[in-house]
Structure 1
Amino acid sequence: MTDTFHHLVPATAHAQVRAVAERVVQELALTADKVAVHHAEPARYPLPADESAAEHLIARRFEGLSEEEKRRAAARALADLNGGPGRAARLGDLARVDLRSPASVDAQAKRLGFPDRLRFPVDHLRKLPASLLPEESAPVTGEGDGWVYEPLRRFHWFGLDEVAEYPRTYFVTLVLADIEWPGLAEYVHQLLDLVRRRVLGGLSAAVGEPVGTASVRVGMTVGAAVGWVLDRLKELYGDEVFRPVTVGTVLPAPPAHHGAGPCSPVVDQGCGGHCRQTYDWRVFDRVPGRAPGRAPDRVPG
């Protein structure tokens, strides 16, 4: 795969695109607050009846916390509700979302309408970012336990015959937990799907027309946003997960051959330490009868 290069995905640099993604993160942080205060006062802060609402996805994670962690999360959320002008300044129009309402945070945000200040021309999404060069990982000192997958673990795969246009950019978000967390992979997949839909909806509203996932900026924004959401949940709920890392690869043209690209390390920080992961991107012949998507084997932790 010498005709490709891969990179860490930084927070999206385009200020207006970033602002839309940050609004999505704010909405989901409010959703997490709603789940926490519901635990403390369920009658006063009811969850929406619609089981597909984001509150129920986040509640499934919340229920896995210890009682002490739930209590602390609820206390933080209740204190934030009494934040006064500081909270209003931070949330802007979203401060009008009423967590006492049985309506979901998403439904209430939609009723507020999309802010005019977040609108921008669609051409901003079509420009390739000026820099997608690989970032050098910080060195890791010391020694510790490690895990080596034999054979190598395939986390995700994409079909290269899905669209004809080049260049193409693909993104994968890597999330590690410091504890045994059954269902982490499924939870992250569902959260990623939720964030993707929210970001696409926000960007479509911002530019005034439907937005697909082919844009490099869109892919970068979704990858960055899911990392921000997981990081925010870590802050709110005390999850023992490392800061998510989104990695991408760019194919300027159809691959000239099958095989592996160079291995690249990424370093996660969190849980009082560092974790070094090494990954690569590989090109294979299509596997008959299998659609692109997550690998069926479960990733431990």
Structure 2
Amino acid sequence: MSDSFGSFGFAGRVAIVTGAGGGLGREYALELARRGAKVVVNDLGASRDGTGQSDAALKVVEEIEATGGEAIANGGSVTDYDQMVEMVARASEKWGGVHILINNAGVLRDKSFAKMEPADFNFVVDVHLNGSANATKAVWDGMRAQNYGRILMTASSTGLYGNFGQANYGAAKLGLAGLTKTLAIEGAKNNIRVNTIAPTAGTRMTQDIFPEEAFKAFSPDKVAPGAVFLVSEDAPTNMILGAGAGVFQAAYVTLTPGALLSGDDLSVEGVAANWAAITDRNGEIVPQSGADQAMTILAKLQRG
């Protein structure tokens, strides 16, 4: 089925996509299946605030099977680690292992921070951040044992840059970008590549936020090519990819050279006086690990 896709075919690969009953997750599942992957379509089937259930995952499985693909539905909640372990075990028993995980499941409970209840904050963080960690932990040992894995986390422009009324969502989403960075380092020796996508799409999550024309322009199928590339055999690792309406962008966490303060300048007043030098972006770098920050400080100390 996927021979014609070359290095971007997925024959023999098993993929799990969480939150795949609709929107972005559905598009990812359909595209992976079209390219030959066997797909676990995971979806609790809840509404966007995390309540209720439906048979959304089964409908996507039917779509995949109707075009000759292989898929199974799973209704496990990403917030329940044992359910994620069971999902992975079932896929491994049926197809021999899991090679790809796309962490896409999510919910929204938008309110200004002043009006947000702690329960709404905790729930959104639990689904997005802890849920992705649960699913990833469930596949991690198997990926290490087979020396192959591709994992995609879903961040957001809200996490990277902020958005009014989404403190809970933004905290979780930037947390996922941080989780990616450490797992990319830890997984490297076992050929596990881990990336982050920050999609902008017209889905059930955004249907009353986007105007109708924008909703159409930002259709989920225009994000899917980026997501599927990031879980392919030739994928990079430790990248943050923005995607929406067919536009793809790379986002980076950067570090300026900074300024070395000493003597009287090593003070609150000195930080204020040197603020322009501290924030000067000329010569900024993209650190490849947390240790790089300490190394740049040591290098500046050695130069005097």
TM-score in terms of structure 1 length: 0.31
Instruction: Identify the structure with bigger relative contact order (alpha carbons < 8 Å, sequence gap 6+).
Output: 1
TM-score in terms of structure 2 length: 0.30
